[in-house]
A and B are shown apart, each in its own frame.
Chain A
Amino acid sequence: MPPLARRLTRRLALTLFVLWGAATFAFAGMRLVPGDPARVIAGGVQANATPQVLDAIRAEYGLREPIVVQYALFLGRLLRADLGGSYQLGRPVSQVIGEQIGATLALAAGAAALGFGLAVALATLTAGRPRLRALSRAAEFCSISTPNFWIGILLLAAFSFHLGWFPVIGDDGPAELVLPCAALALPIAGVLAQVTREGLERALDQPFALTARARGATEHRIRVRHALRHAALPVLTLSGWVLGELLAGTVVVETVFARQGLGHVVVAAVRGRDFPVVTGVVVLSALTFSLINIVVDLLYGLADPRIGAAA
């Protein structure tokens, strides 16, 4: 078996293990929360569900079975890639997630692209240039230390309510994505720009940069073609962190910008003890994390051929 295939097989096995672990933790977490799930499903504290209704709910969702049996049934369904049906919405979880994932993906992908793009541009322009760097650094610290929530409100107030450039309510055109993506991307860009610049500056100090300069390469070419590749490794390593930030940030950004998305779904599901939806989203997130890590692993090899050879 070639080394790459072996590595991929190992990663896939690990992914399955991670999925099982995530699903089990989600199951345990939702069951350990105190309180009668039937009552929460019936509509929470405000609901005036009668005992008959509660009984109907317990029977329908198998809540009267012993916990071990419930767990076995749950794993069995998961093996068949069946996420079950939502308690609250009365529809299959895959359908609920499928409906909302588009909006979240657009937001997360847009924010990730903007975040990485902004970070690389800032770092390339400011590395080793003290005045620009100081300016950029101050802006980066501002964006890192300001919560998404507040950035979102400021962006909305300035560009939507005052200037009217981007609507917050209306059709889901690309214009509607600009502000949410920016709110989500700014803190990420702040961190990534710092890491990228540090890497760039280190690379620019290396003898190869001097060599390239001596051979007449333009400053721009040295930065973009030679140094950036050296700065890429630490940035790639941060991809997992970026994904986590994106997942956590979408919940907040979706609320501020009144967007649809998985963030809303999962918050409502946790509150409503909508267990199949929560596990569905958890399993999906675990899968995304694993896949991104595999991709990052492969990218390491591309960025630095020495890593591929060593593995």
Chain B
Amino acid sequence: MSVSDDTATQVDDEPAGRRGSLRSRRPAVVAAALVVAAAIVLVLVVTTGGRDEPSAGRAGAAGPVAGGTLTYALAGTQVSLDPAVAATAVTGLIDRNIFDSLVVQTGPATFGPWLATKWAVSGDGRTYTFTLRDGVTFHDGTPFTAEAVKATLDHVVDPATKSAYAASLIAPYEKSRVVDDHVVEVTLKRPFTPFLQALSVPYLGIQSPAALAKPVADYRPVGTGPFSYVSWEKDKRVTLSKNAAYASPPAGASHQGAAYLDGLVFEFVPEDATRYGALTSGQVQAIAGVPPVNAGRLRSLGGFDLTVQETPGLNYNLYLNQTRGPLKDVRVRRALSAAVNVAELVKNIYFGRFPVARNPLSRTTAAYDATAESELASYDLAAAERLLDEAGWKKGPGGYRVKDGRTLALTWPYWAEGNKEQRDVLAEGVQAQAKLAGIKIERPAVDTGAFVSKYLIGGEYDLVDVSFARPTPDVLRFAFASGNTYAKAGGNVALVDSPRIDTWVEEAAETSDPATAAKDYAAVQHEVLRQAYVLPLYTPVQLTAFSAKARGVAFDAQTYPVFHGVWLGA
């Protein structure tokens, strides 16, 4: 635009006879000062905003009150409400309230009855027989029977469903057989211990067969859960209402019967500042993803409960592609690991709010072995230099190491779309520290298509960073079994190809003996750190905030809030 840059000349061009033109410059200064003053006032108003939120009194010892609607604001959006189709965490969180599962995860490795009152596993570990709860009906009136379990599982694995996540959880599924109305027998292709954990997640929630029979375009989520689906305004909100007939809470639920809340609304608010402001100004009662920078201030405000939860599953780790270039040599892998002062970086970037990881598994995961970190090549620059010298990489001009005329350069693709939690800043720190040891890390910026086809599938990378939340040690099989490369829908991005690791993770997945599984998983954690296939960085943390008016908030094993027992106080 040329409009903006000709102010000065325009003032000069004015005919001298016009009123006040001789004084035209002075007012400009006055005006600018006024505008600046106005801006300062606005900023003051803004920064002092929200302080006057009355701190909700917790004094009332009165019991739970039924009624009211709770609005929960979260970032992210979803493309489908069908838990069997979607892979997004948002869908899992919303669908958790609509669907019950066959079993509930009650601890890191323990499961309790939910829609299945009891179950038996055959001697060969391939057949699960579930006895189902009686007298449960879906929101559409369909009775809950063995037929529904069969329909749900068949729907998940049907290629036409285009399941992005759920099907991968029950990959060994073969078939279901309806024994009678309340007994269903599920057969697997091979023994698979993580099957119960898979059944406990919302992505495998039991759906009404009548709803599944409808065409995809008319899909509505119909389950047996405490809330039933009302509407989904895309990118705006999902509205649920109370299922007054609810009587099938999971084992160990603090509240029986129908939910206290009449309605539950999920608002999609992608902008952090907006979401946070909506909570502090009382427009919503809860938000997910409190910006870490606001977490401290929220505590000091009063009237809000901040929940900090470490995510179970795989930490945010850096994976070292052991099939390519310099990283084929374990000494170079260990040298990279020793060159980076992870603890210092994570502490400084996240103000100590994110726990430093020293194991690929987060410590809230079952079978986490704290002793494995002794195998980690911890920060020791001198040791890193020694290892690289031993491996034949000598310091060359420019500070980077050279061997046979080749520079020690590693490719770490930067996929901006997937960047969050300042991971790009952390990567810059890693880059800078690796440089001190003479390792060059290159970060080409790539879009989703190239990231998947050229790097993740094409394998033209040395380093890839990723986190993966799921409360089961079976994530170790997902991340390190040779058959689980990205191209085969797995998460083995270090391209580990170790028969020992394969044996351990397969045995752990098949055995029914918890002690054997724990021993196997521990061995994997030791081995991947000893081989430096992975450099653990930090444990992702979920920051959720509720208004103090919302009582009875609990969280499940997936770290999702459970709304069934929530009620709104004064």
Contacts and interface: CB of A to CB of B under 8 A. Distances in A.
Contacts of A92: 217
Interface string A143-163: 010000000011011101110
Given A42-B162, A47-B87, A137-B31, A33 B281 contact: no
Contacts of B32: 138
Contacts of B163: 49, 53
Given A46-B87, A90-B217, A135-B31, A34 B454 contact: yes
Nearest to B165: A48
A28 interface: no
A257 interface: yes
Nearest to B279: A161
Interface in A217-263: 254-261
Contact of A40 (B39, B274, B448): B448
Interface string B419-452: 0000000000000000000000000000111111
Interface string B255-277: 00000000000011111011101
Contacts of B80: 88-90
A256 B274 contact: yes
A258 B236 contact: yes
A309 interface: no
A168 B73 CA distance: 11
B448 A258 contact: no
B448 A144 contact: no
A168 B283 contact: yes
A272 B27 contact: no
Interface residues of B, number: 80
B61 interface: no
A43 B281 contact: no
Given A47-B87, A154-B42, A255-B271, A272 B31 contact: no
Contacts of B275: 258
A57 B418 contact: no
Contacts of A268: 77, 79, 235
B277 A161 contact: yes
A130 interface: yes
B124 interface: no
A174 interface: no
Nearest to A274: B79
Interface in A153-183: 153-154, 156-158, 160-162, 164, 167-170
B490 interface: yes
B42 A158 contact: yes
Interface stretch (B16-24, B136-144, B178-186, B532-540): B16-24
Interface in A256-283: 256-261, 264-265, 268, 271-273
A130 B24 contact: yes
B254 interface: no
Nearest to A43: B164
B271 A258 contact: yes
Contacts of B233: 260
A297 to B, nearest CB: 22
B42 A169 contact: no
Nearest to B82: A90
B71 A272 contact: no
B167 A156 contact: no
Contacts of A136: 31
A298 B541 CA distance: 59
Contact of A169 (B79, B216, B284, B489): B284
A198 interface: yes
Contact of A131 (B20, B49, B415): B20
B162 A53 contact: yes
A292 interface: no
A36 B31 contact: no
A40 B280 contact: no
Given A53-B163, A168-B278, A169-B71, A258 B270 contact: yes
A48 B168 contact: yes
Nearest to A131: B27
Interface stretch (B3-11, B94-102, B241-249, B513-521): B3-11
Contacts of B27: 130-131, 134-135
B81 to A, nearest CB: 10
Nearest to B73: A169
Nearest to B237: A169
A195 B43 CA distance: 29
Contact of A52 (B79, B159, B451): B159
Nearest to B158: A56
Contacts of B71: 169
A96 B415 CA distance: 29
A43 B83 CA distance: 13
A131 to B, nearest CB: 4
B160 interface: yes
Interface of B: 1, 3-4, 7, 10, 15, 18-21, 23-24, 27-28, 30-32, 34-35, 39, 42-43, 45-46, 48-50, 71, 73, 77, 79-80, 86-87, 159-160, 162-165, 167-168, 171, 216-217, 219, 233-236, 267-271, 273-275, 277-278, 280-281, 283-284, 415, 417-418, 447-454, 456, 488-491
Q: 5 closest pairs, A vs B, by CB?
A: A35-B449, A43-B164, A162-B49, A47-B164, A135-B31
Given A162-B45, A258-B267, 11 more contacts: A35-B449, A41-B162, A47-B165, A53-B159, A135-B34, A138-B34, A157-B45, A162-B281, A169-B283, A258-B236, A264-B234
17 contacts: A43-B164, A45-B418, A46-B87, A48-B165, A48-B491, A53-B164, A92-B217, A138-B31, A142-B35, A153-B274, A162-B281, A164-B281, A168-B278, A168-B283, A169-B283, A258-B236, A268-B235
